[in-house]
């Protein structure tokens, strides 16, 4: 053909001539299904607000995931998040019949708790950045591999991690086996330095000093994760995923800001302490916690997705067990159903329950021999949590999607009876809380 | 006896592992049937639960690492 | 048609779906019987046995011959329904047998629409020449079948004859039809396209090819040389208003060989090309 001659019109006319009355008048409209084409990014963004009851933690974050397909399923995914955290967290100390005073982590100030109130440390406000990049692509006919790198940074904590994965399809792609490995290296540099385990919270120090019961400024932790998964198509409308994971953490696993109250062995009341004259400091004896320097975890996870004529139910269950004796069950369900032509609603329910770590203590008895490890962090106690939520999303005519999600979270914890001292049974105050999660999202192509 | 009955019910409830042909994968190809549908939501949730509960992970990798647990 | 044919009807009722399925199947069978060169009683076979005599054809066949004539002119002779005799030399079954130059040369005098005399409603071929509608028959059947379906029901319908397909519009919930395009074996996963209207046609070597010195060569022959087109992509998918048009774009782009992308880009045609 002559290189500069356009033949489209003649061709269309020829086709119309042939089809006559059968020639359709609609214009063609075919687009690649994945919006991540080799010349555009598929971007999902969200603003999230998390707020706990009673003036506790509040977190606001901005997140975005952008995916681009460079052709033939060679995909790059970039994930960026910024969040700011404010508000108070339980320090691990227990409520007393009288007001209590504590030294803040920096050692330079104090905070108080009222009588009967679970002490909350409100000296945190922090901003965290996180960035992840991942690449995935097929190789050979039935295989694909993926690799990822991630970093995150906040004032007192840095993380860097990498992961590698391989998948292989079987049975005309009805079955997919996946193997993945991840390694993470974290560095903790707590405000005020690393507390010596079981040392007592000290008095306030001067502006230019640091607290003196510290063993150093920073420490490391590393985590190795292995995952084996199988995805199986069970039918035209059903998909099942089963994962087995093994995780090995070692290094500094203690929370440098958490303490345990030392209590009278008979009454169970926190001991009272008077700071030396002229000094400000804790009104009780609070010892910094100490966790093992190793944690090995195993979990199995299963997820079923079932289509019911356009409505989709997904059910997930996870069982996890580790050598800290924290065993948990998680059951989660989502049901998505279309509303009108371009929207959907998706209610969500989640139930979580865990057993306490074997070194969890509600408090420590004065004069009793010290255990090797102890923590009063309620997140390591017997715990139950419920989430109820709903998501609403709407597609615009341009093919983008707005969404809003509201979740209500309720957490209650319990101290195992054998960790209670003296007359504490019946007078236990755990830092239970409710939280609201509100998220607004926008999904678009760039 | 109850255990056996429950097991039998459970296995009967699981649809048989049929092979779905490539041209029958219309429903499975939909966005909402993908295991990573709602990827951003579940990643954000996982991060919240990681910092508020004693167990984390199991679903997959990606992200992670913060001074909150 | 030589490939699996299906029709999808998006409707909550079984009734129009049954009627549509019957109409579409009837259309497919009719075109198959009338224009297949493998059937002794087809119009094409009658023409190919004519031994130099003029054959009077019906209106539908006349329209197809008009279309073939236009396509031949538009493509400067690359699209030619008389090129089928070359298959006596080239057998596209995945094997490695390549014909000798003399075999191809001997057949070339029997190839060329200019050697045929088409004067509506009479078609006269030289003795030994043959025509076949393999390049447009399936796409034509898709468009006719879709029109027949649209006459029966307003429900969204998609007709798919072995990868050449057309839809009346999107599915009921404004959702697009998801179409998988077979990836070339050895490389990628099937790509999925979302179709909300119009047609898609695909041309490629996934199923019909020979391997010569390690290179797969697709089954599109250049009638001017008698050889398969060199540098042609492994697969071309084109979206157009109707299947006949889409199919013709596919064929013409294949015939451009290495210049397939540039050709379709220049013409502003929506396409997806896989080269390896």
One-character DSSP codes across C106-161? HHGGG--GGGSEEETTEEE--TT-----TTTHHHHHHHHHHHHHHHH-SS-EEEEE
Residues from chain C contacting residue A25 (CB–CB below 8 Å): 241
Decide if C231 is inside a domain. Answer: yes
Among A24-28, A236-240, A402-406, C263-267, name the most confident range. Answer: A402-406
Give the pLDDT of residue A35: 43
Give the pLDDT of residue C4: 78
Decide if C267 is inside a domain. Answer: yes
Is residue C256 within 8 Å of residue C248, measured between CB atoms?
Answer: no
Closest Cα of chain C to A226: distance in Å?
Answer: 26
Q: Measured between CB atoms, does A236 come within 8 Å of chain B?
A: yes
B25 with C6: Cβ contact below 8 A: no
Give the pLDDT of residue C186: 39
**Res. B62 pLDDT band, cuts 50 70 90:** low
C190 → chain B, closest CA residue: B22
Q: Measured between CB atoms, does C6 come within 8 Å of chain B?
A: yes
Give the pLDDT of residue A331: 97
Region of poorest pLDDT, from A424-428, A437-441, C187-191: C187-191
Residues above pLDDT 90, as percent of chain A: 72
Region of poorest pLDDT, from A14-18, C178-182, C269-273: C178-182
Give the pLDDT of residue A80: 95
Give the pLDDT of residue B57: 76
> Residue A312 above 80 pLDDT?
yes
C256 → chain A, closest CA residue: A1
The Cα–Cα gap between C118 and C151 comes to 33
When the pLDDT of each residue in chain C is averaged and rounded to a whole number, the result is 81
The Cα–Cα gap between A380 and C121 comes to 89
The Cα–Cα gap between B53 and B41 comes to 18
Helix orientation angle between C14-35 and C59-74, rounded to the nearest 10 degrees = 70
Residues from chain A contacting residue C251 (CB–CB below 8 Å): none
C176 with A28: Cβ contact below 8 A: no
Give the pLDDT of residue B66: 61
Give me the domains of chain A, ranges plus CATH numbers: 44-445 (2.40.160.40)
Contact residues for A325 (Cβ-Cβ < 8 A; gap 6+)? A355, A356, A357, A358
Q: Measured between CB atoms, does C192 come within 8 Å of chain B?
A: yes
Give the pLDDT of residue A207: 75
**Res. C97 pLDDT band, cuts 50 70 90:** low
Q: Between these two residues, C202 and A363, which has the higher pLDDT value?
A: A363
> Residue A354 above 90 pLDDT?
yes
Say how many CA atoms lie within 13 Å of A183 toward its Cβ: 1
Residues from chain A contacting residue C249 (CB–CB below 8 Å): 11
pTM of the model: 0.69
Decide if C193 is inside a domain. Answer: yes
> Residue C14 above 60 pLDDT?
yes
pLDDT single digits (tens) B11-45: 444 444 578 887 677 788 788 888 888 889 999 99
Contacting partners of chain B (3+ CB pairs under 8 A):
A, C
Residues above pLDDT 70, as percent of chain A: 95
Give the pLDDT of residue A19: 83
**Res. B69 pLDDT band, cuts 50 70 90:** low
Residues from chain C contacting residue B30 (CB–CB below 8 Å): 178
Give the pLDDT of residue A398: 72
Q: Which domain holds residue C224?
A: 5-32+136-274
Decide if C142 is inside a domain. Answer: yes
* CATH code for the domain in which residue C193 is found: 3.10.520.10
Q: Measured between CB atoms, does B29 come within 8 Å of chain C?
A: yes
The torsion angle over the Cα atoms of residues B39, B42, B48 and B50, rounded to 10 degrees, is: -100
Q: Chain B neighbours among A 419-438 (CB < 8 Å)? A: 435, 437
B29 with C190: Cβ contact below 8 A: no
Q: Measured between CB atoms, does B5 come within 8 Å of chain A?
A: no
User: How large is the C-alpha radius of gyration of chain C?
Assistant: 19
3-state secondary structure (DSSP) of residue C18: helix
Pairing of the two strands A238-251 and A294-308: antiparallel
The Cα–Cα gap between A357 and A242 comes to 26
CB atoms within 10 A of CB B19: 12
Give the pLDDT of residue C101: 76
Region of poorest pLDDT, from A361-370, C1-10, C69-78, C174-183: C174-183
**Res. C40 pLDDT band, cuts 50 70 90:** confident
When the pLDDT of each residue in chain A is averaged and rounded to a whole number, the result is 90
What would the mean pLDDT of A243-247 be, rounded to a whole number?
A: 94
Q: Between these two residues, A40 and C58, which has the higher pLDDT value?
A: C58
**Res. B4 pLDDT band, cuts 50 70 90:** very low
Q: Measured between CB atoms, does A253 come within 8 Å of chain B?
A: no
Closest Cα of chain C to A134: distance in Å?
Answer: 19
What are the two backbone dihedrals, phi and then psi, of residue C196, each rounded to the nearest 5 degrees?
-115, 5
Residues from chain C contacting residue A14 (CB–CB below 8 Å): 67, 70-71, 74, 248
Helix orientation angle between C137-152 and A8-19, rounded to the nearest 10 degrees = 60
Q: Which residue has the tokens 């299947």?
A: C243
**Res. C217 pLDDT band, cuts 50 70 90:** low
Nearest to A26 among C75, C140, C198 (CB): C198
Q: Which residue has the tokens 């519009």?
A: C169
B30 with C180: Cβ contact below 8 A: no
Closest Cα of chain B to A267: distance in Å?
Answer: 30
Give the pLDDT of residue B55: 86
Q: C165, C178, C179, C202: best mutation site toward chain B, by most B Cβ within 10 Å?
A: C178
3-state secondary structure (DSSP) of residue C14: helix
**Count of structural domains, chain C:** 1
**Res. C184 pLDDT band, cuts 50 70 90:** very low
Q: Between these two residues, C137 and A100, which has the higher pLDDT value?
A: A100
Is residue A113 within 8 Å of residue A431, measured between CB atoms?
Answer: no
Which burial class, exposed, middle or buried, applies to A247 when counting CB atoms under 10 A from its CB (0-12, 13-18, 19+)?
buried
> Residue A397 above 80 pLDDT?
no
The Cα–Cα gap between A61 and A82 comes to 5
Decide if C75 is inside a domain. Answer: no
Give the pLDDT of residue A253: 95
Q: Chain A neighbours among C 115-154 (CB < 8 Å)? A: 140, 143-144, 146-147, 150
> Residue A321 above 80 pLDDT?
yes
Q: Measured between CB atoms, does B57 come within 8 Å of chain A?
A: yes
Q: Measured between CB atoms, does C76 come within 8 Å of chain A?
A: yes
Residues from chain C contacting residue B29 (CB–CB below 8 Å): 178, 180, 192
3-state secondary structure (DSSP) of residue C61: helix
Closest CA to C115 of C223, C42, C190: C223
Q: Between these two residues, B15 and C174, which has the higher pLDDT value?
A: C174
Decide if C140 is inside a domain. Answer: yes
Q: B20, B26, B33: best mutation site toward chain C, by most C Cβ within 10 Å?
A: B26
Decide if C72 is inside a domain. Answer: no
> Residue A129 above 70 pLDDT?
yes
Residues from chain C contacting residue B24 (CB–CB below 8 Å): none
Q: Which two tokens stand for residue C246?
A: 């889409």
Contacting partners of chain A (3+ CB pairs under 8 A):
B, C
The Cα–Cα gap between C70 and A53 comes to 76
A172 with B21: Cβ contact below 8 A: yes
């Amino acid at each position: 053909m002559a290189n500069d001659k356009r033949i489209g019109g003649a061709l269309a006319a020829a086709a119309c001539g042939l089809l006559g009355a059968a020639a359709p008048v609609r214009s063609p409209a075919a687009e690649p299904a994945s919006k991540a084409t080799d010349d555009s990014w598929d971007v999902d963004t969200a603003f999230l607000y998390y707020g706990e009851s009673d003036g506790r933690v509040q977190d606001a974050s901005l997140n975005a995931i952008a995916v681009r397909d460079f052709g033939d399923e060679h995909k790059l995914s970039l994930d960026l998040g910024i969040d700011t955290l404010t508000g108070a967290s339980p320090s691990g100390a227990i409520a007393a019949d009288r007001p209590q005073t504590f030294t803040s982590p920096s050692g330079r100030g104090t905070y108080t708790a009222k009588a009967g109130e679970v002490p909350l440390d409100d000296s945190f406000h922090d901003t965290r950045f996180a960035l992840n990049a991942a690449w995935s692509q097929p190789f050979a006919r039935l295989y694909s591999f993926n690799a990822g790198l991630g970093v995150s940074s906040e004032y007192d904590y840095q993380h860097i991690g990498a992961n590698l994965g391989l998948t292989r399809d079987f049975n005309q792609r009805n079955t997919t086996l996946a193997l993945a490995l991840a390694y993470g290296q974290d560095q903790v540099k707590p405000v005020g330095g690393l507390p010596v385990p079981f040392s007592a919270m000290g008095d306030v120090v001067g502006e230019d000093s640091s607290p003196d019961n510290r063993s150093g400024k920073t420490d490391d932790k590393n985590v190795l994760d292995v995952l084996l998964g199988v995805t199986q198509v069970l039918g035209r409308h059903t998909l099942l995923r089963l994962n087995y994971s093994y995780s090995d953490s070692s290094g500094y696993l203690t929370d440098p800001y958490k303490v345990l109250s030392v209590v009278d062995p008979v009454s169970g009341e926190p001991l009272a302490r008077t700071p030396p004259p002229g000094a400000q400091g804790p009104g009780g004896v609070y010892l910094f916690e100490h966790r093992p320097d190793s944690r090995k975890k195993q979990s199995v996870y299963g997820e079923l997705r079932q289509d019911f004529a356009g409505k989709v139910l997904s059910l997930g269950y996870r069982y996890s067990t580790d050598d800290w004796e924290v065993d948990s069950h998680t059951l989660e369900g989502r049901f998505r159903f279309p509303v009108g032509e371009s929207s959907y609603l998706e209610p969500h329910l989640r139930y979580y329950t865990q057993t306490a770590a074997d070194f969890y203590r509600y408090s420590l008895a004065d004069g009793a021999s010290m255990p090797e490890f102890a923590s009063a962090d309620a997140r390591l106690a017997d715990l139950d949590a419920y989430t109820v939520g709903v998501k609403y999303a709407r597609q615009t005519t341009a093919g983008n999607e707005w969404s809003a999600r509201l979740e209500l979270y309720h957490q209650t914890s319990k101290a195992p009876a054998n960790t209670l001292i003296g007359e504490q049974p019946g007078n236990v105050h755990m830092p239970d809380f409710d939280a609201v999660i509100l998220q607004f999202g926008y999904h678009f192509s760039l | 006896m109850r255990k056996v009955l429950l097991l039998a019910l459970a296995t009967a409830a699981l649809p048989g592992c049929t092979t779905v042909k490539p041209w029958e994968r219309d429903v499975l190809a939909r966005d909402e049937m993908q295991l990573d549908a709602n990827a951003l939501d579940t990643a954000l949730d996982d991060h919240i639960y990681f910092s508020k509960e004693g167990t984390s992970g199991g679903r997959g990798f990606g992200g992670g690492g913060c001074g909150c647990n | 048609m030589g490939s699996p044919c299906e029709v999808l009807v998006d409707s909550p009722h079984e009734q129009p779906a049954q009627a549509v399925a019957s109409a579409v199947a009837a259309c497919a069978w009719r075109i198959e019987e009338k224009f297949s060169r493998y059937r002794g009683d087809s119009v094409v076979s009658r023409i190919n046995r004519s031994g130099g005599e003029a054959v009077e054809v019906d209106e539908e066949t006349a329209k197809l011959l008009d279309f073939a004539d236009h396509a031949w002119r538009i493509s400067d002779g690359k699209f030619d329904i008389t090129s089928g005799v070359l298959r006596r030399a080239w057998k596209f079954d995945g094997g490695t047998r390549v014909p000798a130059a003399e075999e191809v040369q001997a057949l070339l005098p029997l190839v060329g629409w200019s050697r045929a005399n088409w004067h509506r409603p009479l078609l006269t071929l030289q003795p030994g020449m043959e025509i076949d509608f393999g390049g447009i028959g399936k796409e034509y059947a898709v468009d006719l079948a879709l029109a027949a379906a649209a006459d029966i029901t307003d429900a969204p319908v998609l007709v798919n004859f072995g990868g050449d397909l057309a839809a009346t519009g999107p599915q009921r919930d404004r959702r697009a039809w998801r179409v998988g395009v077979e990836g070339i074996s050895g490389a990628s996963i099937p790509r999925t396209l979302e179709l909300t209207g119009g047609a898609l046609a695909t041309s490629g070597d996934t199923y019909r090819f020979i391997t010569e010195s390690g290179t797969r060569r697709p089954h599109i022959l250049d009638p001017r040389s008698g050889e398969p087109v060199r540098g042609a992509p492994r697969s071309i998918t084109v979206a157009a208003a109707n299947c006949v048009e889409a199919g013709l774009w596919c064929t013409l782009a294949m015939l451009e060989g290495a210049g397939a992308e540039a050709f379709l880009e220049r013409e502003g045609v929506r396409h997806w090309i896989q080269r390896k």
